[in-house]
Structure 1
């Protein structure tokens, strides 16, 4: 539901957990400012603490004068901006977010604050918000190279290749960004299946910046796409970790502002941004050694370890950082996010709840909390968390979609139905939502309404997976209505659109069997079994259909082979069926009374059910011991009468009459 935080190429600053300014506007007389959260400084070294205390004192002094206007507002905007950058350098993210948001509110035409907010959103993975902020920054400085490169990069991440290409083309003409622009254009070309053009751009970027040896990796990928394995291997030999740089004055200024541990951490972050994880780890471990009480150092080390896939170590260092700064919302969020990605949802929820308690306006934390709650089946609580996230982003379609899904899974189907229908009304026809609406109608016991939804989706056309599901669900409705002739072609179309749809084959076999087409039903079950050899339901469906088709010899062989396999579930069913086949097959070559009796009595000792008792009676009759067959069948009837199983009594009494007449029962499964 939300993307994990990750640092991207060329970044010199870390992620801000920041909402974006809503647009360029005239300075109002009463600007709306958000409170700056208290900063937990227990894990911050003394020199940094002094800097922060000094900056906070200036802010508090300015705010004490009342709501600023005019020149005073401009001055306060600068103070907030400086404080935001300071917090940013030292990894105090919630405070940085609040300060930079206020700076943008007080100085809406200050390019720097817009740019930093865009960078924050980009690093957080909130790419739509990043586009919005960078666009506002671009309005203020149309020819800024760094903004053009970043806009291209974000659009590329979003899969908007034409928009990305446009920004990179614009950056080609701007000083300091030529190599990065060619690199971006190469990535766009590669993603749009044009490796020849991609290779040209990557080579041009390398000529512009020979030290950017990470380009060799992209050149290798282009060669591989072109089928030139020799060139690919040669390029791979040359690949390194130095990324393509571009002119980014603001990031450079922030880098220069760091001192002490801030400078150490920044060196590590530069390496991290270049995906040089081992170098970053080394720098951060040095910082932890030099500043053992620094939460920022331990957090940064955890981030590097997480990027290297060493999640267990990362979790340990995140917790070490939290021990020093237990109220650091950013740390709580990152730890919760890591635990979510590891599948440790309860641990994630604990930390994310704490994060939103401290900062209720932290939207990403609400979203991740909803994820952890949903994964532990607390769907209504997950929906409530998404409601809180939607209060902060009311137009977020994705959040509304997932809230509706949690309502459904939490049993609030009518509410889910209204939510999904509202999404259709607000955003237009959506095939996935129509499919879900049909399923909800089914769950509410409204087959006619559900069928109309699926028919609407089929008529509109869809990608094969959705089209397959629509045909499959409509087939299920027709099967439930006992309209098997209509269900069969629907299942066949579902399978044609998705040949790996195991349940489609299984349900097709069911419909065919209901029409007496047992050979075809067995074939459908076989297809399901080929897709999942361990599915005992499909195996049972196949042997049952073959038995009803009169393939007794084949069924006996299949059952014996199945029972020789390691138990994958269902072995009790197969053993009982084999006992019945051995005792009651119409094929003389298949029956074996002695074997049937041994198997049936052994099974009865393990499970004394009516079905097992009936099998023992069948076997005794096949061996010619009708006295025992009658005795077993009479006990069975007495048990059925005591249990009130009246529907089973007519057949049981019919078998008893046969045994009393000295006649074995044949093929009872065909009645």
Structure 2
């Protein structure tokens, strides 16, 4: 009933539309605003064409003029006008002129309220404008009109996840999975949810399924490695980290693909190259970007993505060069600064990395990932106090960030701040007792703290035994050994250390054998076996 009423209301609004002259602002290049008076539609502002490629300017000018003509032609139906608005919105959306695109999509939706396309595309534009709650409203309306269009569910799920609204994200991705059970982007969303819920086995299974369906999605391997770490399977984690790469997972969205296909000029080549990058075909992508740069050497989009392609080819020096050129042309290019910061860190240039990540954070102060990289770069530059400050800021924004916690703990140990280290682990363990690495770090502090007043062998033994029972990892067996020693159970500690040494020899764990030998020496100390 509500839908029928909405259609009736729109029809009434537009009965007198024919022949009404649209209010507009003019420039020598044609109308700059379309604002139909008394129709209920929103005003559409059209930017100028200065600085655009000639082919792109011609396309957008023609699209604008077709819409203007349709809007002032007597007898134009709502359906025809809706399509004109939708087409113009798609043209402007293709070139990321988002405010114009959004206004067009909204008018198309008002004129054609039962067509989900305009709500879905408006949702994408709003998400790209960083207006997540409005985007969610648009996707909700799209789903109400067409509940079987998976991308609307999936995109809503991604936004809910970014807002840490896990329950609503779960509902969206599960709705999508009922329609298309093996859509990689949907499975990846469900995997992320499982990981956030500390359901690491389920998360790992889902990440593995994504990779089975979409082997080129090598960025998923990093997420899978994290899940393996949580499961106490470090060997599997290391294997996945060796295979990780930049190719992620995105939902197949036919409506957005149609928008992308409207591009002309250099845009189609840029899209072709981006598709090659997403497929892991870095050599092909680099060739296309190099071709674009021959005719347009200052194209920052091509430069940044050429840097990404070079990174994928492990040509880090070449990547640094093009990222630096992109920043020289556009100092506030966040993507270039971010990628350059990572490459500087890899190249052993932490001070340059610090500069890059600070530039990112100047524009995006709440970007936790960039702040974490900044903290790491500061640590690598031996600016330990500044690094500690940034790690604390990361944890203030994101208390559940275990990577930041463990890095902070390591740095506090170096600085001799044992009480702060102990308190940080105690608090984190109290909140997240099922997190293996946090529990192991807390047990280690309880058994091995240099401030012996902070030690508690009994609690260390309890926690370490539960960790070892869950993971069976040699490293965690060693942790139980030190907890036994701190508890004064030297014979038990020696026996377990011997068993762990035999396992390490059988499994050829050359990284652990020296540590086990050193622990054996401590346990055989005549003065006592306490660490």
Please confirm whether the aligned pair reaches a TM-score higher than 0.5, indicating the same fold. Answer: yes
CA contact (8 A) 1:146 1:247 kept: no
- What is the deviation of 1:274? 1.6
In the other structure, the counterpart of 1:267 is 272
- What is the deviation of 1:413? 2.3
- What is the deviation of 1:100? 5.1
In the other structure, the counterpart of 1:371 is 376
Distance 1:147 1:250, change over 3 A: farther
Cα distance in 1, alignment partners of residues 518 and 320 from structure 2: 44
- What is the deviation of 1:493? 4.7
Distance 1:498 1:248, change over 3 A: same
Cα distance in 1, alignment partners of residues 98 and 426 from structure 2: 49
Partner secondary structure for residue 371 of structure 1: helix
In the other structure, the counterpart of 1:307 is 312
Relative contact order: is structure 1 or structure 2 higher (C-alpha 8 Å, sep ≥ 6)?
Answer: 1
Partner secondary structure for residue 492 of structure 1: helix
Cα distance in 2, alignment partners of residues 143 and 356 from structure 1: 39
**What TM-score results when the alignment is normalised by the length of structure 2?**
0.57
Pairwise mapping of residues 552-631 of structure 1 onto structure 2 (< 5 A)? Answer: none
- What is the deviation of 1:327? 0.6
* Structure 2: gaps of 5 or more residues: 1-48, 61-91, 143-150, 222-248, 506-511
Q: Encode CA deviations 1:335-377: one digit per residue, 9 max, x unaligned.
A: 1122234443222111001111222122221121122223334
In the other structure, the counterpart of 2:516 is 504
Greater radius of gyration (CA): 1
Partner secondary structure for residue 330 of structure 1: helix
**What TM-score results when the alignment is normalised by the length of structure 1?**
0.46
Cα distance in 2, alignment partners of residues 507 and 245 from structure 1: 48
Q: Does 1:99 align with 2:130?
A: yes
Q: Encode CA deviations 1:529-551: one digit per residue, 9 max, x unaligned.
A: xxxxxxxxxxxxxxxxxxxxxxx
CA contact (8 A) 1:367 1:386 kept: yes
Q: Does 1:466 align with 2:478?
A: no
Cα distance in 1, alignment partners of residues 206 and 496 from structure 2: 46
- What is the deviation of 1:277? 1.7
Aligned pairs, number: 383
Cα distance in 1, alignment partners of residues 264 and 523 from structure 2: 74
Partner secondary structure for residue 331 of structure 2: coil
In the other structure, the counterpart of 1:446 is 452
- What is the deviation of 1:410? 3.6
Cα distance in 1, alignment partners of residues 267 and 165 from structure 2: 25
- What is the deviation of 1:44? 8.1
Q: Encode CA deviations 1:371-404: one digit per residue, 9 max, x unaligned.
A: 2223334344334323433454444444444444
Cα distance in 1, alignment partners of residues 324 and 386 from structure 2: 26
Q: Encode CA deviations 1:414-434: one digit per residue, 9 max, x unaligned.
A: 222112111121122555434
Distance 1:429 1:391, change over 3 A: closer
Pairwise mapping of residues 32-431 of structure 1 onto structure 2 (< 5 A)? Answer: 55=97, 58=100, 85=125, 97-99=128-130, 101=132, 103-104=134-135, 107=138, 109=140, 115-116=154-155, 135=170, 137-138=172-173, 145=180, 148-153=183-188, 183=213, 248-431=253-436
Cα distance in 1, alignment partners of residues 204 and 215 from structure 2: 8
Cα distance in 2, alignment partners of residues 378 and 406 from structure 1: 11
Distance 1:284 1:426, change over 3 A: same
* Structure 1: gaps of 5 or more residues: 1-40, 63-69, 87-95, 170-179, 192-243, 516-671
Cα distance in 1, alignment partners of residues 375 and 442 from structure 2: 22
Partner secondary structure for residue 361 of structure 1: coil
- What is the deviation of 1:501? 2.4
Cα distance in 1, alignment partners of residues 444 and 201 from structure 2: 35
CA contact (8 A) 2:173 2:186 kept: no
In the other structure, the counterpart of 1:605 is none
Partner secondary structure for residue 326 of structure 1: coil
Q: Encode CA deviations 1:479-535: one digit per residue, 9 max, x unaligned.
A: xx9x987875464355345444213324534665759xxxxxxxxxxxxxxxxxxxx
CA contact (8 A) 2:170 2:190 kept: no
Superposed CA RMSD: 5.1
CA contact (8 A) 1:468 1:498 kept: no
CA contact (8 A) 1:44 1:295 kept: no
Cα distance in 1, alignment partners of residues 504 and 50 from structure 2: 57
- What is the deviation of 1:304? 0.7
In the other structure, the counterpart of 1:572 is none
CA contact (8 A) 1:153 1:184 kept: no
Once structures 1 and 2 are overlaid, which stretch shifts more, 426-435 or 160-169?
A: 160-169
- What is the deviation of 1:108? 5.4
